[in-house]
Amino acid sequence: MSESWVELRSDTFTLPCAAMRASMAAAAVGDDVFNEDPTVHELEALAAQMTGKAAGLFVPSGCMANLIAQMVYVRRGDEVLVGHESHIVLYEVGAGAAIAGVQYQVVPGDGRITSEQVESRIKAGTFHTPGTGLVWVENSHNQAGGRLTGMREMEAIGAVCRKHRVSFHLDGARAFNAAVALGVPLKELAAAVDSLSFCLSKGLGAPVGSVLCGSEAFRTAALRFRKMLGGGMRQAGIIAAAGVYALRHNVDRLAEDHAHARILADRLAAFPGIELDPAAIETNIVIARLPGRDAREWEHRAGERGVRLLALDKERVRFVTHLGVDRKGIERALSVLEGVNRDVS
Ligand SMILES: *Cc1c(COP(=O)(O)O)cnc(C)c1O
């Protein structure tokens, strides 16, 4: 993170620290397409252990993890049942449709879904109609403002899926944020689903990669699709080492990012003309509404004064806290934003 910026656009802007880089330089490597990279094995075993699943598969990105999961579970033409404005629907260039051949049944709401909604929408395929091939939860949910689906709801959705024999997958790009905020180890959250992915390259601070975790059979099927999509990597231990470092050092500290998001939200909510419910801030994402004003102008003015935020649309701005922003950075952002809020009416 450059000293001159307070970077709040996304937790994807986190940079590897010196110790993480040292672990990358020192990593033992081999050809992972031949299944011979010891550091990739170490990362996959650690991810499996932390999620309580039988196996992990290192993949280049969260988007590829999501696409692979859909390819593994869903017959072409069948449906993925998914919450409003989920990442697979909004931000993956239609890969589910273009490549996996799925269609989405989008559940209305803020992005989170309930077991009742799943129960009423899940359906068996017939000669005429697509069936539900997969139930999909994003937790925490990005567009909902980092909101959480709690343990009880995850378990209830899992029970509905088992009853109907439909697979249940967690897009856990920020699953560690969710687990830390819910106060449970990730393996408890993951116990409700058949499989999940999490991003190493967001709040965990690694430069590249995600891990898909599930049963051995899931991994075997996923491995074939990873190769098909061009995601087989050779001496990938160089980047897997950063993931191992991230899992060992950067999970518990996510609580700090959540505390920073809360401070930001509490104070922003008191600014005139801003709509924001601080009680809805559960993790590291803060979305504020600026009714009647131009979010892009806000983004621009804040940027000129060294605070980077993201205009999501005409009236909404997003702030994401992460290990590259400390308490001082939050204070600096708030004083700049106070001025921006005064100037851009
Ligand atoms: C970032 C993100 C992804 C995709 O991750 P990439 O590594 O950027 O491909 C998937 N799902 C959610 C919810 C995300 O926030």
Task: Tell how far CA 153 is from the center of its chain.
Answer: 18
What's residue 299's pLDDT? 96
Mean pLDDT, to the nearest integer, of 67-72? Answer: 98
For 194-214, write each residue's pLDDT tens digit. 999 999 999 999 999 999 999
Query: Ligand 1: distance of its center to the CA of 72 in Å?
Result: 18
Mean pLDDT, to the nearest integer, of 58-64? Answer: 98
pLDDT classification of 21: cutoffs 50, 70, 90: very high
Mean pLDDT, to the nearest integer, of 252-277? Answer: 97
What's residue 182's pLDDT? 98
pLDDT classification of 137: cutoffs 50, 70, 90: very high
pLDDT classification of 344: cutoffs 50, 70, 90: confident
Candidate from 142, 196, 322 with most ligand 1 atoms within 8 A of CB, to mutate: 142
Candidate from 10, 80, 171 with most ligand 1 atoms within 8 A of CB, to mutate: 171
Mean pLDDT, to the nearest integer, of 84-111? Answer: 97
Query: Ligand 1: distance of its center to the CA of 44 in Å?
Result: 19
pLDDT classification of 3: cutoffs 50, 70, 90: low
CB of 199 closer than 6 A to ligand 1? yes
Query: Ligand 1: distance of its center to the CA of 174 in Å?
Result: 8
pLDDT classification of 4: cutoffs 50, 70, 90: confident
Mean pLDDT, to the nearest integer, of 110-124? Answer: 97
Ligand 1 atom 15, closest CA:
173
Nearest ligand 1 atom, CA 66? 10
Ligand 1 atom 6, closest CA:
62
For 36-51, write each residue's pLDDT tens digit. 999 999 999 999 999 9
Q: Indicate whether 161 pLDDT > 80.
A: yes
Candidate from 91, 312, 318 with most ligand 1 atoms within 8 A of CB, to mutate: 91
Query: Ligand 1: distance of its center to the CA of 339 in Å?
Result: 32
What's residue 58's pLDDT? 99
Query: Ligand 1: distance of its center to the CA of 280 in Å?
Result: 21
Query: Ligand 1: distance of its center to the CA of 142 in Å?
Result: 9
Q: Indicate whether 239 pLDDT > 60.
A: yes
pLDDT classification of 306: cutoffs 50, 70, 90: very high
What's residue 121's pLDDT? 98
Nearest ligand 1 atom, CA 64? 9
How far is it, in rounded angstroms, from Cα 148 to Cα 139? 6
Exposed, middle or buried: residue 274 (CB in 10 Å: 0-12, 13-18, 19+)?
middle
Q: Indicate whether 2 pLDDT > 70.
A: no
For 278-295, write each residue's pLDDT tens digit. 999 999 999 999 999 999
Q: Indicate whether 225 pLDDT > 80.
A: yes
Mean pLDDT, to the nearest integer, of 301-312? Answer: 97
Ligand 1 atom 10, closest CA:
62
Per the prediction, the chain carries an average pLDDT of 97
Query: Ligand 1: distance of its center to the CA of 144 in Å?
Result: 14
How far is it, in rounded angstroms, from Cα 317 to Cα 79? 32
Q: What is the pTM of this model?
A: 0.97
